[in-house]
Amino acid sequence: MKCPRCDSNKIEVIATSPVGNVWEVYECMDCFYSWRSTETPNIHEKFKLTKEQIDNLPVIPPVPPLDK
């Protein structure tokens, strides 16, 4: 299985339905996109991510320097 957003293959099952065996939830461990097995993700081109883009995303809020 591949991540529909960043194409990574580091996918984990983060949940199975608490009632019945009707769905699972998957998550990409590189970009943290998650989706349910009953969904069909259709990620817009502008929301897809490459490894380089992930590394360069803005940081909110900025991490302050450590006190000496």
For another protein, the binding residues (CB under 8 A) are 5, 14-15, 17-20, 22-23, 25, 27, 31-36, 38-39, 42-44, 47, 49, 54, 57-67
Interacting residues of 55 by C-beta distance below 8 A, sequence separation 6+: none
* Min dist. Cβ of residue 54 to another protein (A): 6
* Min dist. Cβ of residue 25 to another protein (A): 7
* Min dist. Cβ of residue 40 to another protein (A): 10
- Residue 9's alpha-carbon distances to 17, 21, 52, 66, in angstroms, are 23, 24, 16, 35
Determine if the peptide bond prior to 4 is cis (ω within 30°).
no
